[in-house]
Amino acid sequence: MRERPTLTNPFPGLPLIESPLFAALKTTQGFTVEEERIAADLHENGYAVLDFPDAEINARIDRIKAALGPGYGIDFANPESDKTIGERRLQDAWAFNEDVRAIAANQTMLDLLSKLWGRRAFPFQTLNFPVGTQQDAHSDSVHFSSLPERFMCGVWLAMEDIGPDAGPLFYYPGSHRWPIMTNGLIGRRGYGGSLGSAQDPYGPAWSALVEAHGTQAETFHPRKGQALIWCANLLHGGSRQNNPQLTRWSQVTHYYFEDCIYYTPAFSDEALGKLQLRNLVSVQDGRPRPNSYLGEAVQEPAEDRASRSSLLRRLMKRLRG
C-alpha cells in the first residue's frame, strides 16, 4: 500500500482552521477526535465550545470572585441589589492575580490553539466580568488585528451557570467569513484619530451584513467551567440583562500568534502604511512579544514608539510589583 503524500500548506498566512484547504489539511495534523470536532466547529461556525482543561478550575473561580469582587463596587452579598450598577470589567488582572494568569496561560489551551491556528499562541490580555457587557454586536478584528490577518482569537470562560436573563453572550454563526472591517472598507481615516468607542463607526456595516445574510444570532447558556473559543472576525456581543439582580461572572482571554504584526485597525490606515502597532507582553511569562513579519522584526516609527514607551514601563513596573 502506497503511503499518502504529505500535503504542504500553500497558505501559511492563513490560520489552519480558516484555510480553504482545511478539509485536506486537517488529516495531516494528528488531531484527536475532540480536537477535530473543535477545529471543524471553528471552521464552519467561527466558534467552538469545550470544557476548560483545568482540574482546579472551580477552586480558581471561587478565589477570583473573592479577590476581585470588592473592586467592582457591587453589593454581591445582597441578592436583591442591582448588579449592573458598578464597574463591568477589570482589564489585565493577570498582572496581580495568579489564578487569572493561570487560566489565561493554561498550557493545554495554548497547545490546542497553536495546533488549530498553525502558529504558537500567546495570551496578551485578560478581562474579568461580574455581569454581562450588554455590548452591541462587534468583531474583535477592529480592536485587535494582525498581519497576516486572522491570527487572533478569544476564549470566554463561564465562571457560573449562565441563563437567558443574565445577559448571555451572543454570536452570529458563520460571520467569521464575512469581510473584515477596516477604515478603508467603510470610507474613513483612522490613523492618529480619536473615538469614544472604537467600534461605533463600523456598526452600520455589521448591521447591513447581518441583514444581507439573514443570519440569526445564537446565545450561549453555558455551565460553570465551560469555555467558548471564537475566531477573530466572529460577530458577537452581550445580550440585554433582563434581571439586574443576577451576576454573569466570566473571564475573557485574548490571544495572538507568533511572527505577526499586531495592531489596532480602528486607528490605522493600512493602505497608507499607517498602523497603530501594539507593543505586547505575554501573560504567560511577562516578556515582550515583538512585531515581526516572516521572521524579521518590525520597528515602530520613532514618534509612535516614544508615545508608547511610558505605558510599557508602567506595565512592566506593575508586573514586578
pLDDT of residue 223: 98
CA distances from 253 to 7, 50, 110, 179 (A): 32, 15, 11, 24
Angstrom distance (rounded) from CA 172 to CA 210? 8
pLDDT of residue 47: 98
Q: Whole-prediction pTM value?
A: 0.91
Q: For the packed helices 33-45 and 107-117, what is the interaxial angle rounded to 10 degrees? A: 60
Does the residue 9 lie in any domain?
no
- 8 Å CB contact between 270 and 189: no
Q: Shortest CA distance to 144 belongs to which of 203, 231, 15?
A: 231
User: What is the DSSP code (8-state) at residue 198?
Assistant: T
Does the residue 55 lie in any domain?
no
Grid cell digits, residue 284: 504567560
Query: For each of the chain's 321 residues, which pLDDT tens digit applies?
Result: 445 556 688 999 999 999 999 999 999 999 999 999 999 999 999 999 999 999 999 999 999 999 999 999 999 999 999 999 888 899 999 999 999 999 999 999 999 999 999 999 999 999 999 999 999 999 999 999 999 999 999 999 999 999 999 999 999 999 999 999 999 999 999 998 888 888 899 999 999 999 999 999 999 999 999 999 999 999 999 999 999 999 999 999 999 999 999 999 999 999 999 999 999 999 999 999 999 999 999 976 655 555 545 545 555 455 445
pLDDT of residue 314: 53
Grid cell digits, residue 239: 445580550
Does the residue 240 lie in any domain?
yes
User: What is the DSSP code (8-state) at residue 113?
Assistant: H
- 8 Å CB contact between 126 and 252: yes
CATH number at residue 250: 2.60.120
Task: Provide the domain count of the chain.
Answer: 1
Does the residue 150 lie in any domain?
yes
Does the residue 286 lie in any domain?
yes
Terminal Cα-to-Cα distance of the chain (whole angstroms): 61
Angstrom distance (rounded) from CA 320 to CA 58? 28
Grid cell digits, residue 3: 503511503
Does the residue 268 lie in any domain?
yes
pLDDT of residue 14: 97
Look at strands 296-297 and 292-293 and give their pairing.
antiparallel
Per the structure, the complete domain to which residue 134 belongs is given by 66-319
**DSSP strand E in the chain: where?**
47-51, 90-91, 121-129, 145-147, 152-158, 169-171, 218-219, 226-231, 236-238, 250-257, 261-263, 280-281, 288-289, 292-293, 296-297
Angstrom distance (rounded) from CA 113 to CA 305? 30
- 8 Å CB contact between 133 and 88: yes
H/E stretch holding 87? none
- Please report, to the nearest 10 degrees, the dihedral formed by the alpha carbons of residues 160, 165, 138, 54 taken in order: 10
Place of cell 464552519: 44
User: What is the DSSP code (8-state) at residue 71?
Assistant: G
